[in-house]
Amino acid sequence: MSTEVGREIRFMVTIDKIPCGSGNCFLIQGNAGAILVDTARTRFRDQILQVCKDKNVKLIILTHGHLDHTQNAAYLSEQLNAPIAIHKDDLDLSKDNTLRPLFADGILGKLLLYQSKRLLQKERVEPFYPTRFLQDGDSLQDLGINAKVVGLPGHTKGSIGVLVEDSDFIVGDALMNLYRPSRAVLYEDREAMEASAAKISCSKVKTLHFGHGESAANGQW
């Protein structure tokens, strides 16, 4: 329940990670409902639905357009009766992940790039239709959750994160925690990716939640 002190309304918020193989989704729960961040790949749809079905999900946010984050968007939107939101710069990418090239550094990055290209050859995304386009600075308090959208371009042009109560930061693939927390090892624009990583460092939040890997303390990226 929200509490009111003078004229200030405080929102009680929790974040639950939903592990989906090598990726993660997150359920942000507030007083009046919840937000699902990312939707993982098809084989995890029932697992995600079981977690979310009684939580009054009011919005599904996609941190970017890659299929390992969007493949269940249409299905979960229908099942949960929840609209989908994404940054407008990734709308075209969400329809065709091959539209913009990815680049990689190091052996790990090049291995992931190879695996990603193979995945795109085998799997597709059921078409979905966002009804809300998010951008840097957008507040989510209209959903009863003390959070805001942060632009984190670089991994993709339209990558975004969700900053929750200035203490937790869901960063999508702007950073990754594969063997250790690091900058994104795959990116469309290296300069933008590095600027977004620095932006996360300067945010002063305590805890980061990654699209891939375990949550960890913030640091200097």
Mean per-residue pLDDT, 116-127: 88
Q: Are 188 and 157 in contact (CB under 8 A)?
A: yes
pLDDT of residue 121: 79
Site of tokens 């329809």: 95
pLDDT of residue 12: 82
pLDDT in tens, 75-115: 999 999 999 999 999 999 999 999 999 999 889 899 999 99
CA 165 – CA 29 distance, rounded (Å):
12
Give the orientation angle of helix 73-80 with respect to helix 45-52, to 10 degrees. 30
The CA-based angle 32-205-64, given to 5 degrees, is: 70
pLDDT in tens, 148-176: 999 999 999 999 999 999 999 999 999 99
Domains of the chain (ranges, CATH numbers): 3-123+133-217 (3.60.15.10)
**29 CB-near residues (< 8 Å, 6+ apart):** 13, 14, 15, 16, 55, 145
CA 4 – CA 23 distance, rounded (Å):
37
Percent of the chain whose predicted confidence (pLDDT) is above 70 = 95
pLDDT in tens, 56-80: 999 999 999 999 999 999 999 999 9
Q: Is the pLDDT of residue 1 over 80?
A: no
- Report which secondary-structure segment, H or E, holds 20: strand 14-20
- Report which secondary-structure segment, H or E, holds 46: helix 45-52
Tell which wins on pLDDT, 122 or 182.
Answer: 182
Q: Report residue 109 as tokens.
A: 């990055």
Percent of the chain whose predicted confidence (pLDDT) is above 90 = 86
**What sign does the CA torsion over 77, 132, 99, 190 have?**
negative
Q: Would you place residue 127 in the very low, low, confident or very high pLDDT band (cuts 50, 70, 90)?
A: very high
pTM to 2 decimals? 0.94
pLDDT of residue 106: 86
